[in-house]
A and B are shown apart, each in its own frame.
Chain A
Amino acid sequence: MSVTTPLIQLKGLGKTFQSKDSAVTALDHIDLEINSGEIFGIIGMSGAGKSTLVRCINLLERPTSGKVLFAGVDLSTLSGAALNKTRQQMGMIFQQFNLLMQRTAVGNICFPMELCGVPKAQARQRALELLELVGLSDKANAYPAQLSGGQKQRVAIARALATNPKVLLCDEATSALDPTTTRSILALLKDINQRLGITIVVITHEMAVIEEICQRVAIIADSHVAEVGNVEDIFTNPQSQAAKKLVYPEEGKPIDDFVDHKHCCRIVFDGNSSFEPVVASMILECREPVNILFADTKNIDGRAFGQIVIQLPDDPLAAKRILSYLRSRESITVEEVDNYVV
């Protein structure tokens, strides 16, 4: 599909929740373009406003400023009935699945088709096809209470696809699922994106979800878009503070211990096996962070040559533990270096 105009355009979108004596700004001046056929991720910490953002795309939340264009049409100008018609072109799935508890899997998938007047037999036929697409053919007559979380989300996906929407909005769709189920649901989303060419917007707080299926990502922080770009670029070179926080979640506190390179140690690789991850095992074993000041190693025919200089923690006991660990490895030579200069 050639990309001419984006499927979804958010222009200067803002949402403020007004309560009696205060106003909370959930979104402020959001500009985003989501192209046809792509899997677009929106990531942010809890409370960043990403759930409000996805609800603004189908106007479940009315933006207080700015515009939402869907296939070029400004949604806020539509009447109630026209908006409902447009919403039939937008599927949505949720963290809590939101299935009708008193209807079977097939009944749930038929629901959106009933809303737009598809004849019963035809709707049922399509529902069964969709169940097959999501891999749940054998659960057609099961009620949601009889299904596992992953199965419920599959039914929800089938239901969202029933009216052949142009876009599938996923609001924390995997956040209530265990890691294995999450992977299988993500694989399913990727599969339907490729098979049906449907645009998918994924809202999540997990970087792993973005990494797994998205092509482009927007990072939302403090009601703003902090960064937009290809997932690869943002992963390899995050620019904004918010992006860095998401990509390197551990790197929060600065390590004061390493301000001046007082106590260092040189590890020399002199041609023994390079398969042993020396520094990594050392950190795991000693549970102490070290600072790599210098590294130049080569792998020649499976043998490691070169050297690494690491800075040891100030705590003498920790330093001692690291040194004795390193000395116990046979593949390397270790020497202490004081006041190493980079």
Chain B
Amino acid sequence: MLFEASTWQMIGVGLLESLYMILCSTLLAYILGLPMGVALVVTDKDGIHPIPVFNSILGFVINVFRSVPFLILLVFVMPFTRAVVGTTIGSTATIVPLVIGAAPFIARLVESSIKEVDRGVIEAAQSMGASTMDIIWKVMLPEAKPTLIINGAIAITTILSYSAMAGFTGGGGLGSIAVNYGYYRYEDDIMLVTVVLLVIIVQLFQEVGMKIARTTDKRL
């Protein structure tokens, strides 16, 4: 055994905290980001329901959030985090900046997935009398499903790396362990283990995402 049992236990808790953070944040970030991404495509001047002014504003806001480095955003939104969760440390508190940081990124990912849906298929749906909502729910999202899933795996890995950064501000999870032991105490072996675990998590999500995307894609 490399470490004492208590160290292993700490790493185990960190792992669970990390998973908790990334899964909750991904879910919430998609609840925000998916509609934003769809709106970006639909309200575009060449979209199926153009609202150019709204589209430009939405695009601008997303770009603003995307251009703030996550570590700065993390500190910047702390008052808001405290107002929502009651504290700024721990894994639950980290979910707030993670969602704020990831949602605009997800919006852009969703936008690019949906833009890939063949314009002709959308036109065909319009020719059959499909409404904008019909097209979103029955054409855009189902047709873009495989790329949405692949991009979902990308989003998860990005959120995972964000969550590790949150270790610097007491965010909990594997990131905190790596920072506290590896960075402040020079315990390189603990850092190495956490890094290995992070790599495994990324590999896992990526692999699973690709597999699901491949089996659901009927384009062969």
Contact = CB atoms under 8 A, between A and B. Distances in A.
Most buried by A among B123, B127, B146, B220: B127
Interface string B203-220: 000000000000011111
A190 interface: no
B120 A102 contact: no
B35 interface: no
B38 to A, nearest CB: 17
B126 interface: yes
A89 B193 CA distance: 65
Given A98-B118, A101-B143, A115-B134, A92 B218 contact: no
B120 A101 contact: no
Interface of B: 118, 120-121, 123-131, 134, 138-139, 142-143, 145-146, 216-220
Interface stretch (A40-48, A79-87, A219-227, A311-319): A79-87
12 contacts: A83-B129, A86-B129, A87-B128, A92-B124, A100-B121, A100-B139, A111-B125, A114-B138, A115-B125, A115-B128, A143-B219, A159-B128
The 4 A-B pairs at the shortest CB distance, nearest first, are namely A87-B129, A84-B129, A98-B124, A92-B127
Contacts of A114: 138
Contacts of B219: 101-102, 143, 145
Contact of A100 (B126, B127, B143): B143
A101 B218 CA distance: 6
Nearest to B220: A145
Nearest to B118: A98
B123 A88 contact: no
A98 B123 contact: yes
A73 interface: no
Contacts of A60: 123, 126-127
B127 A145 contact: no
Contacts, number: 82
Contacts of B125: 111, 115
Nearest to B120: A98
Contacts of A116: 129
A146 interface: yes
Contacts of A143: 218-220
A210 interface: no
A87 B128 CA distance: 6
Contact of B145 (A81, A96, A102, A111): A102
A36 interface: no
Given A102-B216, A115-B134, 14 more contacts: A83-B129, A94-B120, A94-B123, A98-B121, A98-B124, A99-B124, A100-B121, A101-B143, A101-B219, A111-B125, A112-B128, A115-B138, A143-B219, A169-B127
A163 interface: yes
B124 A94 contact: yes
Contact of B127 (A58, A96, A146): A58
Contacts of A96: 118, 120
B129 A115 contact: yes
A140 to B, nearest CB: 14
B130 A84 contact: yes
Nearest to B122: A98
A99 B121 contact: yes
A326 interface: no
**Which has the most chain B C-beta neighbours within 10 Å: A80, A85, A92, A100?**
A100
Contacts of B134: 115
Given A92-B124, A101-B218, A146-B220, A85 B129 contact: yes
A80 B145 CA distance: 28
A175 B14 CA distance: 61
B64 to A, nearest CB: 28
A139 interface: no
Nearest to B121: A98
A103 interface: yes
Contacts of B123: 60, 94, 98
Nearest to A92: B127
Contacts of A58: 127
A90 interface: yes
Contacts of A80: 131
A145 B218 CA distance: 7
B108 to A, nearest CB: 23
A104 B139 CA distance: 14
A92 B118 CA distance: 16
Interface string A16-52: 0000000000000000000000000000000000000
**Which residue, of B126, B130, B218, has the highest number of chain A Cβ atoms within 10 A?**
B218
